[in-house]
Structure 1
C-alpha cells in the first residue's frame, strides 16, 4: 500500500467514526495490532484481520464514545507511525 501522512489521517478519521469497514480496508490480511492493555505486561496482540476487527469492535463497545485526538502522524520510507490521545467513557461511567 502506498501511503503518506494523508493516509494515516484517513485511518484516524475512520477510527473516530467507529467505522470498522473503513478501518479494516487499511489492514493487510496478515496484520498485527498490539493493544497497550491486556493480560501480558505489553498488553495484548491480535493477529489477522478477523482478530483485529473483533478487538476493535470490543473497544468501541467497551468505550462507546472513544475518541482519538491530538493526533500526529509521521512517515519515513515505507513506515508510518501515528500518535494520539485516547479519551472516552465506559458504560459504567469510568
Structure 2
C-alpha cells in the first residue's frame, strides 16, 4: 500500500490567508478538495461543528463573513510539514449585533493533491 504524501508550501498558506482577508469565497474554495471537511471552533461536539463537502464548507464560511462582516485575520504565522500545515492568527472584527471580536486562533490543515481535505479551527475563549 502506498500512502500519498504531498507537500504544502508557506506560500500556499499565505495565499489562503489573503483569500480569507479578501472575503473571496471563490478564491478560498479553489483551495479545497470536493471531499473536504471543516471542524469549526464551536458546535455541538468536542470537535465543534463538522462541515462535510465543499458546498457545506462554503456555506459555513459565508455565514462567518455574514456574521462578522469586517472579519480579518492578522499577526499570522505558518508552519508546514509534508502535507500538513498550521496557521496561527489574530481574528478581529465586529459581529452584526455590534460585539467586538478579538481572539488568537489557529487552523490545522491537511492537504491531498494540493487541495485542502481537512481544516480544523481553534479560537481562544475570551472572558470579559
What's the TM-score bracket when you normalise by the shorter of the two chains? over 0.9
Q: Are 1:43 and 2:48 matched, yes or no?
A: yes
Deviation at 1:87, TM superposition (A): 1.1
- Tell me the residue number matched to 2:124: none
Q: Is the CA contact 2:7–2:84 (under 8 Å) kept in the aligned structure 1?
A: no
Which is greater in Rg? 2
TM normalised by structure 1 equals: 0.93
Aligned pairs for 1:12-31 within 5 A: 12-31=17-36
Structure 1 gaps of 5+ residues are: none
Equivalent residue of 1:40, what SS? coil
Aligned residues: 94
- Tell me the residue number matched to 1:79: 84
Corresponding residue to 1:91 among 89, 93, 96: 96
Specify which structure has the higher proportion of helix: 1
- Runs of 4 or more off by more than 6 Å in structure 1? none
TM normalised by structure 2 equals: 0.69
Specify which structure has the higher proportion of strand: 2
